[in-house]
């Protein structure tokens, strides 16, 4: 398959295959286990820093954060235990993996709120070397797009996670001011995207099954402008999204104004492309395909020595 960088057209077969593969990867047990293992390495390193850093060292880690760090570890452990049984409601609002992901992000953002390096909720300068070691550990458990399965509470002003494929496919989107998320290495051959069923749901309706859904425009001919004639034709109208059963199907962004940073979200039809039945039999496969080419992430990061 040939793929030209920065050509992200959801009508293009190569783009569709990559987004489909990425969404399966981002919602896999293997990826969330890596997130959990990275957090465990960070938690051990943070506790080690609290207990061993010299008191005369300018940089200090806050002991009061340890109970919260332990809570996130427990949320990851409990959520993974349920995910291994195919229970994907762990990604619903307030559930184990939703909360673990949220608190992970908060801890990463507020890791070292020293005024020389951090202001108004944002890192403003490179952390000191000892703190940076912890920063790398906590960021190693965050993957670009790992919020893919998290529930979006339905509302008139809320929309699906992915309005387009750029955030997942453009390497520039993985760059931050003070860290870089690892860009995935795609397999040489990617499976084709399923045709999808003709069954659709409308934004605000309850999602019947876990899986990857495609926003579509519905074309229907009418006789005398009253009676439908022939079969409906479904055309892709945006980026695939992963939707969890019993959540409300989200709206979708239909227009983006780059100049004014203005978005317009509207209700859409969603068509099921692939139902996620992984792990329901209690068996978790190796899932090596999602990381087999990521040479720099073969194992969870080791605890650094200060």
> Element (H or E) spanning 268, and its range?
none
* CA distances from residue 148 to 43, 123, 126, 283 in whole angstroms, order as listed: 24, 25, 29, 23
Whole-number Å distance between alpha carbons of 156 and 267:
9
The Cα angle at residue 33 between residues 74 and 296, in degrees rounded to 5: 130
Given a cut of 50, is residue 262 above it in pLDDT? yes
Determine the pLDDT at residue 115.
94
Q: Look-up: residue for tokens 């992984």? A: 278
Confidence tier at 196 by pLDDT (50, 70, 90) = confident
Give the model's pLDDT for residue 293. 66
Using left for φ > 0, alpha for ψ between -120 and 50, and beta otherwise, residue 64 falls in: alpha
CA distance 54 to 45: 15
Of 294 and 18, more confident? 18
pLDDT for res 234? 81
| Over residues 70-78, mean pLDDT | 98
Question: Distance (Å, rounded) from C-alpha 202 to C-alpha 249?
Answer: 7
Kindly report which listed range (16-25, 112-121, 219-228, 289-298) carries the lowest average pLDDT score: 219-228
Comparing 116-120, 164-168, 258-262, which segment has the lowest mean pLDDT?
258-262
Q: What is the structure's pLDDT at 3?
A: 43
Question: Which pLDDT belongs to residue 292?
Answer: 80
Predicted confidence band at 298 (pLDDT cuts at 50, 70, 90)?
very low
Note the pLDDT tens digit of each residue in 198-234. Answer: 889 999 999 999 999 999 987 656 555 555 655 667 8
Position 231 scores a pLDDT of 65
Query: What does the mean pLDDT of the chain come to?
Result: 88
121 vs 70, residue with greater confidence: 70
CA dihedral 169, 170, 175, 181 (to 10 degrees): 20
* Nearest residue to 11 (alpha-carbon basis) of 272, 271, 239, 270: 239
- 181 Cα distance to chain centroid: 12
Whether 90 shows a pLDDT value over 90: the answer reads yes
pLDDT digits (tens, 9 = 90+) for 125-144: 999 999 999 999 999 999 99
Is residue 73's pLDDT more than 70?
yes
> Nearest-CA neighbor of 298 among 202, 180, 185, 211?
185
Model confidence at 40, pLDDT cuts 50, 70, 90, reads very high
Q: Where do the domains of the chain lie?
A: 13-279
pLDDT category at 7 given cuts 50, 70, 90 is: low
**CB contact set of 42 (below 8 Å; sequence gap of 6+):** 69, 134, 137, 138, 140, 141
Residue 305 has pLDDT above 60, yes or no: no
- Distance, in Å, from the CA atom of 171 to the CA atom of 188, rounded to the nearest integer, reads 18
Contact indicator for 280, 291 with CB cutoff of 8 Å: no
- A 10 A CB-CB count for 41 gives 20
The pLDDT of residue 36 is 98
From CA 72, how far away is CA 138, in angstroms rounded?
12
Q: What is the pLDDT of residues 96-134, one digit of tens each?
A: 999 999 999 999 999 999 999 999 889 999 999 999 999
User: Which single residue is written with the structure tokens 């983006």?
Assistant: 256
Q: Quick one: what percent of the chain has pLDDT higher than 90?
A: 74
């Amino acid at each position: 398959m040939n793929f030209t960088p920065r050509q992200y057209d959801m009508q293009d077969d190569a783009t569709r295959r990559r987004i489909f593969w990425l969404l399966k990867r981002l919602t896999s047990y293997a990826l969330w286990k890596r997130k959990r293992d990275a957090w465990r390495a960070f938690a051990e390193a943070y506790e080690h820093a609290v207990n061993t850093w010299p008191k005369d060292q300018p940089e200090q880690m806050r002991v009061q954060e340890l109970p919260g760090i332990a809570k996130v570890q427990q949320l990851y452990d409990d959520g993974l235990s349920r995910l291994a049984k195919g229970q994907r409601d762990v990604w619903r609002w307030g559930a184990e993996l939703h909360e673990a992901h949220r608190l992970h992000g908060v801890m990463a953002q507020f890791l070292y709120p020293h005024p020389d390096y951090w202001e108004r909720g944002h890192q403003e300068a490179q952390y000191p070397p000892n703190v940076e070691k912890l920063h790398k550990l906590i960021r190693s458990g965050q993957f670009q797009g790992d919020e893919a399965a998290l529930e979006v509470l339905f509302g008139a002003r809320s929309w699906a996670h992915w309005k387009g494929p750029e955030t997942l496919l453009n390497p520039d989107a993985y760059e931050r001011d003070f860290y870089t998320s690892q860009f995935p290495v795609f397999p040489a051959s990617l499976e084709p995207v399923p045709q999808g069923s003709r069954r659709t749901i409308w934004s605000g309706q309850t999602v019947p099954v876990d899986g990857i859904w495609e926003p579509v425009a519905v074309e229907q001919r009418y006789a005398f402008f009253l009676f439908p004639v022939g079969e409906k034709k479904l055309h892709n109208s945006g980026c695939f999204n992963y939707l969890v059963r019993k959540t409300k199907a989200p709206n979708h962004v239909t227009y983006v104004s780059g100049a004014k940073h203005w978005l317009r979200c509207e209700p859409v039809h969603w068509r099921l492309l692939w139902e996620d039945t992984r792990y329901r039999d209690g068996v978790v496969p190796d899932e090596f395909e999602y990381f087999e080419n990521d040479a720099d992430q073969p194992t969870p990061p080791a605890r650094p020595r200060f």
